[in-house]
């Protein structure tokens, strides 16, 4: 995991290229992240603007000067604009190259990140492409009708729909917006037509097909026969008949399918596109004047840089994806004599994942390997302790894998003997300390052994240290806990030093699941992360690619609330090449308690009442009572995370 010393004349020197390779930054970072000469992680949010790399440590210093405590979510708003233009530009280039006769119009699914400024920046960046929005609930549609004012941009309405949701969509039509209601089940169609008649508008109707093609990755079940949403082919034909009966065939405007978020395998994309295009062509042949072909979401992000079909990776590029969409749709439409439709994409993850990161501080560590207990042989010690010491003494190239097996068995025997009262507490401590010394010796021997068996790599995880970080996994990166999503973690400084500690991360919740023990690596995620020894100075880490879903899916486990947040814009006139455009305070203890039905004012009043009773009883002075009451109220107003701040310079 930690690269061995190189063979250059400097004798094991460590370079920025080593850091890029160790943390696979050059594979998942999209060319936007780098390492400065001083060993600080840098980011270039707007590479075409003339503004160079921004130091993440300078961002931390600016955050501190603004009086904002860590942990903090840092959003690079320029990256949102870059991703929108990248997606639209890729489709525009492929359309021109293939001679495709439709246009591209994307929509952003608000569910991916409902933050107002995120939605606002995406819509603004895509203005030239009439970039729209997608809603999956009434609340999201309320926002979309305000945020999406472009009369040529689509507002796609998905999800389960009641009467008021449909009436709200028809209100959007009355306002002159291209609001397309997607039919997820047959019973919705009549309700849409009724709502349109009530408001006095012609609805724009889309149809979501339930493809036989299943997705790939964690969300494979979004497609296939057991998918939660979508119409079967038979139901689509029933919809066509109902439209004819109601004189509303002209309202059929959009075909839609969705095979899941983070589709990992391009072959799945190709299969779904082929099936979807065939259904689309058949619907047009049935007299439905469809204008739009909505490929849904699924365009993935390579979180680990493996370029594979691993659940946290993808085996295709944006160019591959776009060319397949255009090429397959054009081929099927041309073969069926069907006009080329306008293409809609709901690619929220690709747009937002890279624009934000979580900056946190390591404040403590715990060693798994304990080697400082005395192990010198004493008179009368148990044979199991002697056996473990003998294993340690025999380790060498001819006794390597077998030594590991023998040590594991002897350790298990020692624990069992302790349970039976045969081994004393001191003897168990000696046996376990010798076991860890065996493991250390085996690790040291790795480079001298011709072949290291796969099981020996388990030692990395078994011997790793835990670094405790000031944040909650359940609030800031819930996907790492809920679905095993791997998100890249990188030290933000000291990258000019060789990392010497193999570690996992633990948060500050009282939950054993509050840990990160899978990290970006190639070809598979790694069980440990190389970090630096804590030397008494502050040590900062960044968790990257957190811009999709993580903000809105976090929970209040242990009542740790939302993080402080800063929005960064690049500006070459500013020192460091950036400025904080907006900062949003995270949750206070009082605010999260209010969410759980507590009344902070009443709580503070109750504490004051109890303190007054102590004063009357002579247990404390009035001055002490007032000080404690003020302290309690200050705690209610405070950030829910640990207070580790030591100065505005970040040190």
Q: Which of 24-38, 204-218, 271-285 has the lowest mean pLDDT?
A: 204-218
Beta bridge partners of 292: 254, 342
**Residue 471 in this model has a pLDDT that exceeds 50:** yes
Percent of the chain at pLDDT above 90?
83
Specify the pLDDT at position 187: 92
What is the pLDDT at residue 7? 36
Here the tokens at position 451 are: 């072949």
Angle (nearest 5°) at CA 419 between 415 and 423:
70
pLDDT digits (tens, 9 = 90+) for 565-598: 999 999 988 988 999 999 999 999 999 999 999 9
Residue 398 pLDDT exceeds 90:
no
| Whether residue 426 has pLDDT greater than 90 | yes
pLDDT at 219: 56
**Phi, psi torsion values for 53, nearest 5 degrees:** -75, 140
In the predicted structure, residue 222 carries a pLDDT above the cut 70? no
Give the position of tokens 């305000």: 146
- Do 563 and 71 contact (CB within 8 A), yes or no? yes
pLDDT of residue 305: 94
- The confidence band for 454, taking pLDDT boundaries of 50, 70 and 90, is confident
Q: What is the mean pLDDT of residues 52-78?
A: 95
Q: What is the pLDDT of residue 9?
A: 36
* Topology given in CATH for the domain delimited by 383-458: Methane Monooxygenase Hydroxylase; Chain G, domain 1 (1.20.58)
Q: Pick the range with the lowest mean pLDDT from 222-231, 251-260, 575-584.
A: 222-231
CA dihedral 245, 227, 115, 182 (to 10 degrees): -10
| Residue bearing the bigger pLDDT, 451 or 105 | 105
pLDDT of residue 227: 60
The pLDDT mean for the chain works out to: 92
Q: What is the 3 state secondary structure string of 281-322?
A: HHHHHCCCCCCEEECCCCCCCCCCCCCCCCCCCCCCCHHHHH
The alpha carbon dihedral of 132, 137, 139, 142 has a sign of: positive
Under the banding of pLDDT at 50, 70 and 90, the label for residue 12 is: low
Q: What is 1-74+354-368+464-586's CATH number, 3.40.50.150, 2.40.37.10, 3.50.50.60, 3.40.50.300? A: 2.40.37.10
- Are residues 377 and 389 in contact, defined by beta-carbon separation less than 8 angstroms? yes
pLDDT (mean) for 388-416: 93
The residue ranking higher by pLDDT, 1 or 480, is 480
* Architecture of the structural domain at 102-346: Alpha-Beta Barrel (3.20)
Query: Tell me, what's the pLDDT at 215?
Result: 61
**Where does the pLDDT of residue 8 fall: very low under 50, low under 70, confident under 90, or very high at 90 and above?**
very low
Quote the percentage of the chain above a pLDDT of 70.
Answer: 94
Q: How confident is the model at residue 324 (pLDDT cuts 50, 70, 90)?
A: very high
Give the residues across from 490 on adjacent strands: 542
Strand partners, 542: 359, 490
Q: Are strands 515-516 and 501-506 parallel, antiparallel or unpaired?
A: antiparallel
> pLDDT for 118-152, tens place per residue?
999 999 999 999 999 999 999 999 999 999 999 99
pLDDT band at residue 284 using 50, 70 and 90 as cut-offs: very high
Q: Is the pLDDT of residue 605 over 60?
A: yes
């Amino acid at each position: 995991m930690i690269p061995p010393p190189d063979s250059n004349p400097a004798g094991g020197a460590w370079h920025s290229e080593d850091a890029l390779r160790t943390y696979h930054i050059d594979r998942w970072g999209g060319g936007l992240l780098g390492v400065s000469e001083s060993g600080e992680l840098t980011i270039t949010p707007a590479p075409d603007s003339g503004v160079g790399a921004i130091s993440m440590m300078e961002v931390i210093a600016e955050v501190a000067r603004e009086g904002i405590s860590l942990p903090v979510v840092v959003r690079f708003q320029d990256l949102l604009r870059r991703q929108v233009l990248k997606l639209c530009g890729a489709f525009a280039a492929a359309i021109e190259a293939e001679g495709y006769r439709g246009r591209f119009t994307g929509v952003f699914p608000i569910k991916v990140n409902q933050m107002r400024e995120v939605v606002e920046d995406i819509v603004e960046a895509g203005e030239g492409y009439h970039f729209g929005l997608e809603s999956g609930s009434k609340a999201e549609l309320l926002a979309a009708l305000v945020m999406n004012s472009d009369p040529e941009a689509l507002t796609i309405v998905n999800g389960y729909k009641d009467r008021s949701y449909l009436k709200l969509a028809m209100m959007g039509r009355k306002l002159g917006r291209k609001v397309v209601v997607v039919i997820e089940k047959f019973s919705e169609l009549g309700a849409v037509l009724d709502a349109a008649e009530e408001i006095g508008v012609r609805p724009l109707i889309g149809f979501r097909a339930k493809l036989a093609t299943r997705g790939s990755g964690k969300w494979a079940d979004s497609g296939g026969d057991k998918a939660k949403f979508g119409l079967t082919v038979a139901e689509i034909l029933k919809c066509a008949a109902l439209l004819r009966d109601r004189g509303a065939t002209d309202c059929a405007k959009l075909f839609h399918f969705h095979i899941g978020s983070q589709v990992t395998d391009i072959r799945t994309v190709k299969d779904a596109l082929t099936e979807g295009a065939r259904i689309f062509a058949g619907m047009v042949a049935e007299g439905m004047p469809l204008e739009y072909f909505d490929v849904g979401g699924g365009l993935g992000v390579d979180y680990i840089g493996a370029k594979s079909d691993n659940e946290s990776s993808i085996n295709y590029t944006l160019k591959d994806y776009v060319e397949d969409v255009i090429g397959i749709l054009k081929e099927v439409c041309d073969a069926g004599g069907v006009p080329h439709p306008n293409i809609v994409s709901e690619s929220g993850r690709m747009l937002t994942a890279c624009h934000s990161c979580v900056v946190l501080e390591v404040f403590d560590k715990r060693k798994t390997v304990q080697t400082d207990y005395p192990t010198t042989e004493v008179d009368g010690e148990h044979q199991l302790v002697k056996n473990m010491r003998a294993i340690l003494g025999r380790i060498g190239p001819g006794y390597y894998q077998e030594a590991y097996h023998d040590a594991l068995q002897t350790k298990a025997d020692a624990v069992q003997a302790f349970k039976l009262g045969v081994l004393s507490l001191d003897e168990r401590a000696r046996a376990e300390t010798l076991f860890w010394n065996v493991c250390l010796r085996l690790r040291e021997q790795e480079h001298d052994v011709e072949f290291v068996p796969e099981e020996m790599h388990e030692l990395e995880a078994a011997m790793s240290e835990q670094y405790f970080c000031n944040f909650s996994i359940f609030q800031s990166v819930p996907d790492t806990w809920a679905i095993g999503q791997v998100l890249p973690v990188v030290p933000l400084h000291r990258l000019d030093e060789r990392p010497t500690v193999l570690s996992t991360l633990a948060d500050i919740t009282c939950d054993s699941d509050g840990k990160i023990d899978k990290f970006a690596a190639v070809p598979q995620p790694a069980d440990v992360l190389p970090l630096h020894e804590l030397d008494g100075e502050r040590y900062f880490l960044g968790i990257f690619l957190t811009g999709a879903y993580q903000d809105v899916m976090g929970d209040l486990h242990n009542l740790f609330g939302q993080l402080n947040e800063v929005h960064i814009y690049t500006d070459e006139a500013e020192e460091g090449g950036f400025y904080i455009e907006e900062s949003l305070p995270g949750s206070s203890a009082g605010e999260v308690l209010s969410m759980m039905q507590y009344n902070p004012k009443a709580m503070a009043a109750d504490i004051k009442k109890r303190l007054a009773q102590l004063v009357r009883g002579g247990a404390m002075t009035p001055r002490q009572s007032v000080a404690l009451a003020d302290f309690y109220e200050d705690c209610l107003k405070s950030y829910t995370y640990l207070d580790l701040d030591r100065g505005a310079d970040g040190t």
